[in-house]
Structure 1
Amino acid sequence: METSDAQRREAESRNPEQTAARDSSAQQRSDARVRACVRELKRPGEPLCAYVRDLDRLAEHVGDLVRRLPARTELFYAIKANSEQEVLRALAPVVHGFEVASLGEVEKVREVSADIPILFGGPGKTEAELEGAIRHGVRLIHVESLHELRKLDDLAGRRGAAVSVLLRINLKGPLPQATLAMGGRPTQFGIDESLLPHVMEQLPKLTHIRVEGLHFHSLSNNLDAEQHVKLVDYYCRFAQEWAQRYGYPLRYLNAGGGIGVHYAQLERQFDGALFAGGLASVLEQALPPETTLLFECGRYLTASSGYYAAEVLDVKSNHGRNYVVVRGGTHHFRLPSSWQHSHPFEVLPIDEWPHAYGRPELPPNAPYTVVGQLCTPKDVLASDVSAAENVGVRVGDVLLFRYAGAYGWAISHHDFLSHPHPEHVYLRE
């Protein structure tokens, strides 16, 4: 007897430990595959620096999440996390669409697919961007202010078009704690909840705007699956009350992204199976049957399948502190500096040493700070750490930074000091 998607989702929600074990095993296979690739990339006389992305693991991880989500739920990939063409092509058959935040990102998506659904968000959209969104057939535009609504209505009127939008609301809360707060406090994002009645009064005048629901993206990098279910429940109840009060159809509710990555403890990641299982009852109790729930996740989808490999160029001590200098740095991989954390890595020992001069090294368990080649003390990838017990580090070894597939290369200042760019390697069978 064939197992339905609903039965599979229910089984996974009852056996979160089994699901976590399967995910862990898949991640370990990916780690081993990338280690082998990095060793093959190592060439004598050329310091190694490369991004390696396991596209098979990416598609598997995201596909698992899509299958776990309940019916009436769609998952979009927020391409700001990593907009490389190879990544988009790997995800296009898996996700329901892409979420973008600029006309440039719209065009990147359209190079991959002429018709895949697109959601367009972000503050300060220009006329050219809004016109481009209409021209490229964006499904939904997330409107961030009354002024943007009026501008979009004017542009759509000139083209004789009707544009579908979601109103992005900056809620008062209470909201769960997370690394980044996008709402529940003063930010540049969304329409202040207290201004919503005024916006609704103006909508009848905007005859080229078709409001199809609400959009919320209140926080980023939430690690607690149970709290995220409660957050989505809060969104659903607010949206249903809005639809009843103002008489607008609630075709879509966009619950944003906000699912995080636990960089400090890679074995304790967001529980996707628990989250998906909890959503089913939320949709049944708090959302009308005609409403589709949208998610636009970035970091959680791509981080685990990306790796940054950097060869050790020097090992030294300065004022009692040990430093490991690698080929590359924050101009390639800015995430650790941006988030002010020590990014997790492992040492890949490279035993070959072709030089007559000595090979500086640090013994196992000696703490050290990993830095790059830039002329700034802020070029730090990890501070006062050691990779693992009983593993030292030598010049010529390679540090392999894991969970580097999101907000790494995409947000880095690539050409500062004009150092070479890293290689970009994509693994796919």
Structure 2
Amino acid sequence: MTVATPAQASIWEPAHAAGLPAYVYDLVGLDAHAAAVREALGDVELYYAVKANPDPELLRALAPHVDGFEVSSGGELAHVRGLFPGVAVALGGPGKTDGELFADVTRLHIESPTELRRLLAPGRPADVLLRVNLDVPIDGASLAMGGGATPFGMDPQGIAECVRLLEKQDVVRLRGVHAHLASGLDAPRLLELAAVVLDYARGLGATEINLGGGMAVSYADPEALFDWRSYGEGLARLRRPGEVLRIEPGRALTVYCGRYVTRVIDVKRVHGELFAVVAGGTHHLRTPATKGHDQPLAGRGRVAGEPVTIVGQLCTPKDVLARDVPVRLEVGDVIEFAMAGAYAWNISHHDFLMHPKPAFHYIREAV
């Protein structure tokens, strides 16, 4: 399977350092990766979770390989519809506004009995999946969205209440079940959860099951890729005739195609520890600060050196991109952070201190 990895050579020309910081998206690599995922999944439906990265060029690269897009707000819906007017769209997320609840979408993920009652009141047609939160152990997840008391989805009692409400009318159509219980799981663990969800859905008579996303991505070991082949084969074994299975990955599709490229402004030692201050920072790339990891550096040929902590320009000690990186850095050096294609720019606090925003560049041809 083809993906971009930090071992690959630099994608930025040093002569262009004046245009930094910048995000660089490898659309060629993304196209190859998405095609490989699509092939590995067989006839499992593939929706892209737009929340991971809504960049229009990334969405255009993904569109030929996906069956639709999953959105979590009216803003994301308008964004996708503006790019692809007729594409299939599933809308989910808690706390839907009336505009979102009554939007024209392919599938609506219902989060609560109250939400369903609001939908039923005006008697408008809709096709819905009920989002279930099963009380099951979720080991090894980086983020738990279910498996116990969380604000997401419904327990079986809530699902039963929704089923009773739907049985009393025929305008809002129950199409099946949606479950996104956790993020950061490998293929065997996701298949274990899929088996539990499928067993529950079959008990309701559901034949359309959205198993969510949550495929593991390792920032500590970027070469450790999710096993899409075994996941697709496992889902094929679990699926029964007549069932429609759908997944909605986000990070695992786009994270490898993006890099955050910047330059070193200052190198200094404070109480014995070495710091490199770069242009930009976590107001551009918030992921390492929120998840508590080091953003991996990309590019070959770097000279080993004393461990250095790479920080940004913000007036907060949390503005750290990577700690104790064993590489020699000097003022003016251009550095590239890999795995910046998901939950990076779009979740960052852009206007804190009002620094300039990064540029965006796209690789459209193989190099």
Code of the aligned partner of 2:191: V
Matches within 5 A, 1:185-224: 185-222=148-185, 224=186
257, 263, 271: which is aligned to 1:305? 257
Relative to 1, partners in 2 of residues 1:30 and 1:393: Cα closer, same or farther, differing over 3 Å? closer
Indicate the residue corresponding to 1:42 in structure 2.
16
Which residue does 1:165 correspond to in 2? 128
CA–CA distance in structure 2, aligned partners of residues 145 and 29 of structure 1: 42
Higher relative CO (Cα under 8 Å, sequence separation at least 6) belongs to 2
- Match of 1:327? 279
> Superposition RMSD on alpha carbons, in Å?
1.9
Q: Could you tell me how far apart the structure 2 residues matched to 1:200 and 1:97 are?
A: 26
Partners of 1:30 and 1:383 in 2: how far apart?
19
- Residue 115 of structure 2 is aligned with which of 148, 152, 161? 148
What's 1:102 paired with?
73
CA positional deviation for 1:349: 7.8
Counterpart in the other structure of 2:331: 395
How many residue pairs get aligned? The number is 365
Q: 1:109 to 1:30 in 2, by over 3 A?
A: farther
- 1 CA distance for matches of 2:172 and 2:291? 38
Which of the numbers 19, 26, 51 marks the counterpart of 1:54?
26
Cα displacement (A) at 1:398:
1.4
TM-score (norm 2): 0.94
User: SS where residue 129 of structure 2 aligns?
Assistant: strand
- Aligned pair in 2 of structure 1 residues 277, 204: CA closer, same or farther (>3 Å)? closer
* Counterpart mapping for 1:117-128 below 5 A: 117-128=88-99
Mapped to 2, the partners of 1:308 and 1:170 lie a distance apart of 36
One-letter amino acid of the counterpart of residue 123, structure 1: P
Give the deviation of 1:116 after TM superposition. 0.8
Instruction: Return the offset for 1:30.
Output: 9.6
8 Å contact from structure 1 (residues 176, 231) kept in 2: no
Q: Secondary structure at the match of 1:77?
A: strand
What SS does the aligned partner of 1:297 have?
Answer: coil
Q: Which amino acid aligns with 1:242?
A: L
Shift, 1:277, TM fit: 2.0
Cα displacement string for residues 292-330 of structure 1 (whole angstroms, at most 9, x for unaligned residues): 101011000000000001101111011111111000000
The equivalent of 1:356 in structure 2 is none
Contact in 2 for aligned 1:47/1:327 (Cα 8 Å): no
Deviations 1:146-188 (A, max 9, x none): 0100111124x2xxx3200000011011334210000012111
1:337 aligns with 2:314: no
Go from structure 1 to structure 2 and tell me whether the alpha carbon gap of 1:74 and 1:263 turns closer, same or farther (over 3 Å shift). same
Q: Distance in 1 between the 2:193 and 2:22 partners?
A: 38
Q: Which residue of 1 aligns with 2:209?
A: 253
What does residue 409 of structure 1 align with? 345
- Aligned partners of 2:282 and 2:293: how far apart in 1? 12
Q: What per-residue deviation string (whole Å, max 9, x for no partner) do you get for residues 313-360 of structure 1?
A: 11101111111100000000000001011111146789xxxxxxxxxx
Is this contact kept in 1: 2:213–2:250, CA < 8 A?
yes
**Residues 236-289 of structure 1 deviation map (CA, whole Å, 9 limit, x = unaligned):** 11111121xxxxxx2410000011211101111211112122222111xxx3x2
Cα deviation digits, residues 47-76 of structure 1 (max 9, x gap): 6211000011111101111111132x1000
CA spacing shift, 1:29–1:199, aligned 2, 3 Å? closer
Matched-pair contact (CA < 8 Å) for 1:364–1:393: no
From the CA coordinates, give the structure whose radius of gyration is larger.
Answer: 1
TM-score normalised by the chain length of structure 1 = 0.81
Question: Gaps spanning 5+ residues in structure 1: where?
Answer: 1-21, 244-249, 351-362
1:195 Cα deviation from its structure 2 partner = 2.9
Q: Give unpaired runs (5+ residues) of structure 2.
A: none
Secondary structure of the residue aligned to 2:121 is helix
Amino acid at match of 1:308: Y
Which residue in the other structure is 1:231 paired with? Answer: 193
Instruction: Specify the alignment match of 1:27 in structure 2.
Output: 4
Once residues 235 and 41 of structure 1 are traced to their aligned partners in structure 2, the CA distance between those partners, rounded to angstroms, is 53
Measure, in 2, the Cα distance between the counterparts of 1:384 and 1:425: 29
Q: Distance in 2 between matches of 1:198 and 1:48?
A: 54
Share of identical aligned residues, percent? 43
**CA contact 2:19–2:359 (8 Å) conserved in 1:** no
Corresponding residue for 1:418? Answer: 354
**CA distance, structure 1, for counterparts of residue 321 and residue 6 of structure 2:** 25
Amino acid in the other structure paired with 1:333: L
Which residue does the alignment assign to 2:101?
130
Q: Does the residue aligned with 1:98 lie in a helix, a strand or coil?
A: strand
Q: Give the Å deviation of 1:204.
A: 2.3
Deviation at 1:377, TM superposition (A): 0.8
1:221 deviates by: 1.7
Q: Contact conserved, 2:25 with 2:259, CA < 8 A, in 1?
A: yes
How far the C-alpha of 1:417 sits from its partner, in A, is 0.8
Deviations, residues 14-41 of structure 1 (Å, cap 9, x unaligned):
xxxxxxxx53xx5369943xx24x1166
| 1:70 aligned partner | 42
In the alignment, the residues of structure 2 paired with residue 59 and residue 344 of structure 1 have an alpha-carbon distance, to the nearest angstrom, of: 22
Q: Secondary structure at the match of 2:64?
A: coil
